[in-house]
């Protein structure tokens, strides 16, 4: 980003007006027809909005997913991230580790010219103004609601990473935009690849067919290290408060939602799927004991939440990011006819209908893009917007309860909560670090 881009920001209201105005102008210029992308061929042009590690990963999987898919535009807040992503994509296949599968050659699918590379606060609008058919949204989750709104208004199909918001205000926006996508015949796919892991798909079918009987309770556990190798460790002299927080976004609640939302939404989404509903209320607790350095922002390092689903069903979630803890990542259900344990390797059902189902080794990260590309080409409805919004809110509820020490209900969180983590202005300047939440003192908003 040039010096002008660093010094020129917009107020929060100005940013929203800019996004809305851009979306309206793009919508006016776009007459949507579900087959318009083809123009006599099956070519699909993709725009990448967010060129960090996740964006680089997702566009790589998307380009692998089908023939006729090309990356034609890129946007990111920072030029260095965009250039690193572009270089990575055009340099494949890279030398693989011994025993690892060779990475595919994607260079011939990267059709991005210099004039289709955009940076700054409005990079997403500039990507949307190009002739892309599908956009991949991978900027920090805080920006997802506004970026989704602009993309759907512009008549673009959307793949968006999880989570899709960091607060209830954002969740409401995503739900509203998802309804508009249906009206316009646009697809939305969310980056919840666990829903496309073969053994879990089969397990859900068996649960729906009664393999566990009446579900009595469940457990969701994800324990891992403190993520200390992630991102820049030291603040460079020219970085403002805003830039420092953007580059350390994973540990800033206003940008990521904290790890229960940003990462563990995968596991919580899976529990909603296995149970077949979202919770009606929750009570959580958590804190920050081991990862206390200032570069970890205002994030917690452990959470525990009791989610109550319809009919009194309770699911206990436990998550942590603390070094030297025992690693664990699984989901469990107990029912009147048996129990289930699911992880990345497979599913085991015991009881009256015992079975073990192993992962078939097919990459769910590729399949999610393949499913969307097929839906676009066949003019099929595929909209996961509301579903991932509900799973995102489930995670947000757990964080809100743990931050405040207060129990809260789904209906209140979705419809009445005023929590909105938007900063005072979108500009490179001063931005005080938010205080770490203290249960019993932090207010429920």
Tell me: pLDDT of 138 over 50: yes
- Distance between CA 76 and CA 162 in Å, rounded? 18
Largest CA distance in the chain: 67
- Distance between CA 332 and CA 212 in Å, rounded? 11
Instruction: For residue 215, give both structure tokens.
Output: 């579900």
pLDDT at 82: 98
Residue keyed to tokens 């759907």: 152
Dihedral sign from CA coordinates of 358, 54, 392, 437 = positive
Calculate mean pLDDT across residues 114-132: 98
Tell me: pLDDT of 7 over 90: no
Residues 6+ apart with CB under 8 A from 163: 141, 144, 257, 261, 262, 265, 388, 391, 392, 395, 396
Strands 157-160 and 134-137: parallel
Calculate mean pLDDT across residues 239-257: 98
pLDDT at 108: 93
- Distance between CA 407 and CA 376 in Å, rounded? 42
The fold of the 198-362+392-426 domain, in CATH, is Dihydrodipicolinate Reductase; domain 2 (3.30.360)
Calculate mean pLDDT across residues 411-426: 98
- Distance between CA 43 and CA 35 in Å, rounded? 11
Residue keyed to tokens 């270089």: 87
Residues 6+ apart with CB under 8 A from 69: 43, 44, 46, 62, 63, 109, 373
Tell me: pLDDT of 37 over 60: no
Are the CB atoms for 351 and 340 separated by under 8 Å? no
Alpha helix positions (H), 66-133: 79-91, 123-128
Strands 328-335 and 338-342: antiparallel
Please tell me which residue, 383 or 103, carries the higher pLDDT value.
383
pLDDT at 157: 98
Which pLDDT band holds residue 42 (cuts at 50, 70, 90)?
A: confident
pLDDT at 40: 43
DSSP string, 281-302: EEEEEEE-SS--SGGGTT--SE
pLDDT at 102: 61
pLDDT at 2: 37
Residues 6+ apart with CB under 8 A from 397: 279, 282, 284, 408, 410, 413
Which pLDDT band holds residue 39 (cuts at 50, 70, 90)?
A: very low
Superfamily of domain 3-194+366-383: NAD(P)-binding Rossmann-like Domain (3.40.50.720)
Calculate mean pLDDT across residues 165-182: 98
Instruction: For residue 173, give both structure tokens.
Output: 């926006």
Which pLDDT band holds residue 310 (cuts at 50, 70, 90)?
A: very high
Calculate mean pLDDT across residues 133-137: 98
Are the CB atoms for 228 and 290 separated by under 8 Å? no
Please, where in the chain does CATH 3.40.50.720 lie?
3-194+366-383
Residues 6+ apart with CB under 8 A from 171: 145, 164, 165, 389, 392, 393, 396, 414
384: nearest Cα among 181, 202, 198:
181
pTM of the model: 0.90
Kindly report the average pLDDT of the chain as a whole number.
91
Backbone angles phi, psi at 137, to 5 degrees: -105, 110
DSSP assigned state of 39: T
- Distance between CA 129 and CA 125 in Å, rounded? 6
Give the alpha-carbon dihedral of 53, 58, 59, 64, to 10 degrees: 130
Calculate mean pLDDT across residues 290-310: 97
Residues 6+ apart with CB under 8 A from 312: none
Please, where in the chain does CATH 3.30.360.10 lie?
198-362+392-426
DSSP assigned state of 196: G
Calculate mean pLDDT across residues 233-245: 96
Calculate mean pLDDT across residues 293-316: 97
For 358-381, how does the pLDDT look when each residue is reduced to its tens digit (9 = 90+)? 999 999 999 999 999 999 999 999
């Amino acid at each position: 980003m040039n010096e002008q881009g660093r010094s020129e920001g917009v107020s929060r209201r100005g940013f929203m007006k800019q996004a809305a105005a851009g979306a309206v102008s793009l919508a006016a210029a776009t007459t949507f027809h579900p087959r318009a992308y083809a123009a006599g061929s099956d070519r699909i042009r993709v725009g990448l909005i967010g060129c960090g590690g996740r964006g680089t990963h997702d566009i790589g999987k998307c380009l692998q997913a089908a023939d006729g898919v090309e990356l034609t535009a890129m946007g990111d807040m920072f030029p260095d991230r965009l250039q690193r992503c572009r270089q990575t994509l055009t340099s494949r296949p890279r030398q693989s580790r011994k025993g690892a599968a060779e990475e595919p050659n994607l260079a011939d699918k990267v059709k991005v010219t210099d004039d289709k590379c955009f940076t700054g606060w409005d990079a997403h609008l500039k990507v949307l103004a190009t002739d892309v058919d599908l956009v991949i949204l991978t900027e920090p989750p805080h920006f997802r609601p506004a970026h989704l709104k602009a993309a759907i208004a512009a008549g673009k199909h959307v793949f968006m990473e999880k989570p899709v918001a960091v607060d209830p205000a954002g969740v409401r926006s995503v739900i509203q935009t998802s309804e508009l996508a249906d009206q316009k015949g646009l697809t939305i796919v969310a980056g919840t690849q666990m829903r496309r892991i073969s053994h879990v798909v089969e397990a859900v079918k068996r649960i729906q067919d009664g393999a566990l009987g009446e579900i009595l309770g469940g457990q969701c556990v994800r324990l891992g290290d403190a993520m200390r190798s992630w991102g820049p460790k030291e603040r460079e002299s020219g970085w403002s408060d805003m830039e420092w927080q953007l580059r350390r976004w994973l540990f800033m609640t206003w940008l990521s939602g904290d790890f229960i939302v940003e990462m563990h939404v995968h596991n919580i989404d899976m529990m909603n799927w296995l149970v077949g509903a979202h919770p009606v209320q929750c009570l959580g607790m958590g804190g920050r004991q081991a990862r206390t350095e200032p570069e970890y922002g205002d994030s917690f390092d452990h959470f525990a939440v009791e989610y109550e689903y319809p009919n009194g069903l309770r699911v206990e979630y436990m998550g942590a990011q603390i070094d030297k803890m025992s690693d664990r990542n699984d989901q469990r259900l107990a029912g009147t006819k048996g129990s289930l344990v699911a992880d990345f390797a497979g599913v085991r059902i015991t009881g009256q209908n015992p079975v073990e189902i192993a992962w078939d080794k097919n990459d769910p990260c590729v399949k999610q893009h393949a499913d969307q590309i097929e839906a676009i080409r066949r003019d099929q409805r595929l909209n996961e917007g509301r579903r991932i919004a509900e799973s995102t809110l489930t995670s947000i509820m757990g964080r809100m309860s743990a931050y405040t020490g207060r129990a809260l209900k789904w209906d209140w969180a979705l419809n009445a909560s005023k929590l909105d983590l938007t900063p005072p202005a979108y500009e490179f300047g001063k931005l005080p670090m938010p205080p770490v939440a203290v249960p019993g003192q932090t207010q429920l908003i």
